[in-house]
C-alpha cells in the first residue's frame, strides 16, 4: 500500500505553497459557509461552500499535475506576491513605529514614500525623481 502511494506521486507536483494556501482557504470557506447557514439565508452560504469546494478540488488537481513547469511558474508568482505583501506590511509597521519622530509623504511624481523630521515648519522636500513638495511638518 505504501509503495503504491509513493509510486502515485512519482513525476507529479505534490503540495507546494500555493496548493497548501488553496487548501486552507477552501477549508476556511467551507467552515464559514457552515456558520453563515445558521444565521443567514442560503444564498451566501452556498456561494462560500461552492468556492471552498472549488479551491479544494483545484488544490488536488495541482498536487497530482504532471505539468511541473507550469505549476512551478504559478507557485513562483504566488510566492512573489506574498513577498511583496509582506514587504508592504513591514514598511507600514516601520512607518507606524516612527510616526512620533517623522512625517511621511508620498511623491505624486513617482510614488516614493518620503520621510522628513517632525516639527520643522513648512519645508520643501526634494524627491529623487526631481519633484519638489512644499509641506508642513
Find where cell 507600514 sits.
92
Helices marked H in the chain? 2-8, 17-39, 42-63, 68-97
* pLDDT at 61 exceeding the cut of 70: yes
> Cα–Cα–Cα angle for 33, 36, 39, nearest 5°?
160
* pLDDT at 9 exceeding the cut of 80: no
Q: Across residues 46-61, what is the average pLDDT?
A: 90
**How high is the pLDDT of residue 28?**
92
Alpha-carbon distance of 126 to 137, in angstroms, equals 14
Q: Determine which helix (DSSP H) or strand (DSSP E) holds 14, and give its type and residue range.
A: none
Length of the chain counted residue by residue = 137
Give per-residue pLDDT as tens, 74-129.
999 999 999 999 999 999 999 999 999 999 999 988 888 999 999 888 998 888 88
* pLDDT at 7 exceeding the cut of 90: no
pTM above 0.75, yes or no: no
Amino acid at each position: 500500500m505504501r509503495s503504491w502511494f509513493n509510486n502515485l506521486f512519482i513525476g507529479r507536483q505534490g503540495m507546494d505553497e500555493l496548493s497548501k494556501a488553496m487548501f486552507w482557504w477552501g477549508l476556511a470557506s467551507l467552515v464559514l459557509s457552515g456558520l453563515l447557514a445558521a444565521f443567514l439565508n442560503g444564498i451566501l452560504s452556498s456561494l462560500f461552500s461552492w468556492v471552498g469546494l472549488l479551491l479544494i478540488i483545484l488544490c488536488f488537481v495541482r498536487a497530482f499535475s504532471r505539468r511541473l513547469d507550469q505549476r512551478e511558474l504559478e507557485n513562483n508568482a504566488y510566492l512573489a506576491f506574498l513577498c511583496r505583501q509582506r514587504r508592504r506590511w513591514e514598511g507600514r509597521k516601520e512607518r507606524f513605529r516612527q510616526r512620533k519622530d517623522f512625517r511621511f509623504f508620498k511623491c505624486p511624481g513617482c510614488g516614493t514614500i518620503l520621510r522628513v523630521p517632525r516639527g520643522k515648519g513648512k519645508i520643501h522636500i526634494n524627491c529623487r525623481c526631481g519633484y519638489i513638495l512644499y509641506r508642513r511638518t
